[in-house]
Amino acid sequence: MKAYRADAAGNRFVVIDGVAGPLPSDPAGLAQLLCAQADVSGFCPEGLLLCLPGEEASAVRMVLFNRDGSRPEACGNGLRIIALLAVREKYAEGEFLVTTDAGLRQVRVTPKGVEVCLGPVRIESKEHAVEVNGQMICGTRVNVGNPHFVLFMGEKGQPTLEDCGEALATHESFPKGTNVAIVSQVHTQGLSVRIFERGVGETGACGTGAAAVARVAVERGMVSWPVRVELPGGDLVLSMGSEGVWLRGSTEILGSCDLPR
């Protein structure tokens, strides 16, 4: 199997090229094994990406398995890595489509970097109240092809990510679980955010989470497009296009890696 270490704004993955070679028999189990601890170089992924042959209109297909072996519907940073790999291996060039579990996604790879369209970002509930440890927490439910719950720390009584991240991500109010984003600062340059991903835990960066908080902040009149989202692993920039929200940020294939036998 051809496998690589990859990083997108601090969101780290192992990616397997299933176009050029075989795939693991148990990718969910392999994801759990790879993400359990750092390798000898200190690299510890948050998920396992599979780059697969495309379907009809798409050049390639992306499948992701989280740290706990679950399979999320969407991943903006993973999509950028798959797009970069597809161009590097000459499966596609320039602007093309990638099949994901959330549908077809438009991507663009140029000398300036990698940009992907996440599609429409929909606010499903502006004020959704959830009780955690006897405390009522009010946030905004957002759909980016996967579920998000957005909170602003400046609002009265809002807890920290340590207080509520895991409890909210697995709360019965969200039947399929949810990703939790807490905005700690809103300023002229953008938003400072921390994110707890379902199936992963706190993450260095989350592309769909960044899109969710940007959409809510613009809706509230706090910022305007394009929006810079500052995350522990790096910055992401979100812009609005006719097809939906576009995401860009640092994207890098770090090198090949060995898989456990």
3-state helix, strand, coil in the chain (%, to 5): 15, 45, 40
- Annotation says 257 is catalytic: no
**CA R_g for the chain:** 18
The CA dihedral of 111, 2, 99, 124, to the nearest 10 degrees, is: -90
109 Cβ neighbours under 8 A, 6+ residues apart: 83, 84, 86, 87, 92, 93, 94, 95, 115
Contact 147, 179 (CB under 8 A): yes
- Annotation says 75 is catalytic: yes
187 Cβ neighbours under 8 A, 6+ residues apart: none
Instruction: Please tell me the distance from the alpha carbon of residue 30 to that of residue 65, in angstroms, as a whole number.
Output: 9
First-residue to last-residue Cα distance in the chain = 11
Contact 146, 76 (CB under 8 A): no
Residue of 35, 51, 117, 206 with catalytic role: 206
Contact 80, 207 (CB under 8 A): yes
Q: Which of 76, 74, 109 is nearest to 91 (CA)?
A: 109
Q: Which of 252, 246, 250 is nearest to 227 (CA)?
A: 246
Contact 208, 76 (CB under 8 A): yes
Amino acid (1-letter code) at residue 194: R
Residue of 35, 75, 164, 257 with catalytic role: 75
**Residues with catalytic roles:** 75, 206
